[in-house]
Structure 1
């Protein structure tokens, strides 16, 4: 009897321990799955959930706030995810918050991350649907990385080839790097450019100084630019210059007409200037006139000694002497 009682007690103890372990396990799993926590149901529709399963966790600001309750097909090819979210946390989630699919670690289970939302919008309510944002596809990311790696290898090979040519002195850059003469010429060019830059800066400074002087009051150019009273005088001067130019042009035309007439033998002056025969005749006439005048003077001198005029000239001479003595 004692052996049977002892066996029954041991069996009862093991059964009790098994039930206790089962209850603790259920409570633990229920606590992890938020089975015994008041929750609200939120939804999100994705084009692709990337392996998300029922029971996966939901995170908000780095805190686990619920689990995936149900996954259903939606529309033609989309997937609707129903989420259990703790009611105590729902007051921090806004109606304009977004939901995306991420991974728990680099290669961990898929999770849903709720983020964003502004205080201008009200808090979520039972059955609200959040805007779904598709995550970056890992496969596409790996393809992109593979393509980038390939491009990096090509760039490395090209760089290796380029540095080899530079070291061998090929090309302009290689020649400059290996040829000392070209290097000296290049340094000389840089020195000339530096001097040109210095001269340019000096010229700019001089120009600024000259401009500052022009802007000083009392300067003639400054007065021309700023003094409005000079403008009418300048305009009047320009009008006078235009009138003078017009008169000069008219005078030039008149001089040209006179010159044309002087060059023409059809008038007296033109004949005097241009007709050689007339000039020769005029010269002969003048010579004859000069000769006649000379002979007339000789005749007048001889007339003084002739008898009829002798007395008259003597009386004239006496009168001049008497006038000179007084």
Structure 2
């Protein structure tokens, strides 16, 4: 009898321990799954959830705040995720927050990450649907990396061919690298460029010195730029020069008209300048006039010896001799 009671006590102890372990496991699992805390439901729709399962965690700012409650198909080919989120963190999640898929570690379980949101938007409420953002697809990333690796191999092969040609002295660059004559010519060119640079700097220095002198007070250029009175006088002088130029142009036109008249034969000066027959006639007249004048002088000289005028010329000669003696 005592042995049977002892066995019953041991069985009762083991049952109690088992029940305690079961309750502790349920409480632990329920605490991890947020089963015994007040929560609200949020939703998000994704094109592809990438293996996300019910019970996976929901994170916000690096803190676990809930779990995935349910996964439903939505629309034609999308998936709707229902999440249980602790009510005590609802005030930090805004209606303009976003939800995306991530993983717990490098190769861990899939999780949902809630991020973003502005203080201008109100906190979320039970049943709200957050905007979803698809993460980068790992498979696409691997495909892109594979393409990049292939391109890198091609680039490496091209560089190998290029360096081999350069080492063999092919092409301009290869010739420059291997031909000492070209290297010396290149050095000469660099030296000439250096000299040209020095000359340019010197010229710029001289130009700066020249411009500084031009900007000094009392300089004509500085006065022209800064003195408004001189500028007014300069404008007045330019106006006078312009008027003079206009007058010169008018005078030139008048002289042109006069010269055109000189070249014409309808006036006396034009006849004198352009009519050859008139010129010959005038020349002959001048010759005749000269001959008549000569003959007239001869006749006047002959009058001195004629009887009617002989006494008068003698008196004139005596008067002239007397006047010369008095002087």
TM-score (norm 2): 0.84
Structure-2 residue corresponding to 1:115: 115
In structure 2, C-alpha distance between the alignment counterparts of 1:211 and 1:165, rounded to whole Å: 54
Could you say which residue in structure 1 is the equivalent of 2:17? 17
C-alpha distance in 2 between matches for 1:313 and 1:96: 147
Equivalent residue number for residue 80 of structure 1: 80
> Is 1:242 the counterpart of 2:246 in the alignment?
yes
Tell me if the contact between 1:265 and 1:274 (Cα under 8 Å) persists in the aligned partners: no
Change in CA separation of 1:13 and 1:265 when aligned onto 2, cut-off 3 Å: closer
Residue range with higher mean Cα deviation, 148-157 or 216-225: 216-225
278-287 or 118-127: which moved more? 278-287
> Taking structure 1 as reference, are residues 74 and 160 closer, same or farther at Cα in structure 2, changes over 3 Å only?
same
Q: Is 1:299 matched with 2:292?
A: no
Matched, 1:139 2:134: no
**Mapped contact 2:59–2:112 kept (Cα < 8 A):** yes
Per the TM alignment, residue 141 of structure 1 is displaced from its structure 2 partner at its CA by 1.2
Mapped contact 1:265–1:275 kept (Cα < 8 A): no
Matches within 5 A, 1:10-159: 10-159=10-159
Partners of 1:53 and 1:68 within 8 A in 2: yes
Quote the offset at 1:320 in angstroms.
3.1
Instruction: Say which is worse superposed, 140-149 or 309-318, in terms of deviation.
Output: 309-318
Residues 101 and 110 of structure 2 are in contact (CA less than 8 Å); yes or no, is this contact kept in structure 1? yes
Cα RMSD for the two superposed structures: 3.1
Tell me what 1:167 maps to.
167
Query: 1:16: how far off?
Result: 2.4
Checking the alignment, whether the CA contact within 8 Å between 2:263 and 2:270 is kept in structure 1 is: no
Tell which deviates more after alignment, 211-220 or 227-236. Answer: 211-220
* In 1: Cα distance, 2:277 partner to 2:44 partner: 119
How many Å separate the matches in 2 of 1:104 and 1:269?
A: 119
Q: Which moved more, 1:8-17 or 1:21-30?
A: 8-17
Alignment of 1:177-196 (within 5 A): 177-196=177-196
The 3 A distance-change label for structure 1 pair 247 and 216 is farther
**Cα distance in structure 1, aligned partners of 2:289 and 2:148:** 118
Distance 2:181 2:122 in 1: 77
Of residues 215-224 and 193-202 in structure 1, the stretch that sits farther from structure 2 once superposed is 215-224
Q: Which whole-Å CA distance do the structure 1 matches of 2:262 and 2:4 have between them?
A: 167
Q: How many correspondences in the alignment?
A: 321
Secondary structure at the residue paired with 1:51?
coil
TM value normalised by structure 1: 0.84
* Distance in 2 (alpha carbons) for counterparts of 1:157 and 1:122: 58
Asked if the contact 1:68–1:83 (Cα under 8 Å) also holds between the matched residues in 2, the reply is: yes
Residue 61 of structure 1, CA deviation: 0.9
Q: State the SS of the aligned residue for 1:127.
A: coil
1:44 and 1:81 in contact (8 A); partners too: yes
1:232 to 191, 215, 236: 236
Gapped runs of 5+ residues in structure 1?
none
SS in 2 for 1:156: helix
C-alpha separation between the residues in 2 aligned to 1:283 and 1:252? 32
Shift in Å, 1:201 = 4.0
Question: 2 CA distance for matches of 1:179 and 1:266?
Answer: 85
Q: Does the CA-based 8 Å contact 2:272-2:278 persist in structure 1? A: no
Q: CA offset at residue 104 of structure 1?
A: 0.8
What is the alpha-carbon distance in structure 1 between the residues aligned to residue 170 and residue 319 of structure 2? Answer: 126
